Amino acid sequence: MGVEAHVTLMDRQTFKLVCEQCGSLTVALPIEAQPDPCSILKCGRCGSPRGTLQSLRDTSIQAGIRHPV
């Protein structure tokens, strides 16, 4: 399986690091002290949904990024 096929397959469950609408990397993080993993994070620029908090964590782990949350 190629990388592109894998990405397409996982698209709905993978956090969009780059906004599809405006290309921004900015994400509006939830302000709750203990946000629900299923909370949808929105683009910090245009407000488009980017994926769930859980998917962000999963994506960050896969990408080797240490996320402070």
CB atoms within 10 A of CB 61: 11
CB of 24 to Zn ion, least distance (A): 5
Per DSSP, which regions of 13-59 are E strands? Answer: 27-28, 40-43, 49-52
Instruction: For residue 46, state whether it binds Zn ion (rule: CB under 5 A).
Output: yes
Q: Are 16 and 48 in contact (CB under 8 A)?
A: no
Binder of Zn ion out of 43, 52, 53, 56 (CB under 5 A): 43
Per-residue interface string for the shown chain with Zn ion, residues 10-39, x marking contact by CB under 5 A: ---------x-xx-x---------------
Q: Are 66 and 60 in contact (CB under 8 A)?
A: yes
Site of interaction with Zn ion (CB under 5 A): 19, 21-22, 24, 43, 45-46, 48
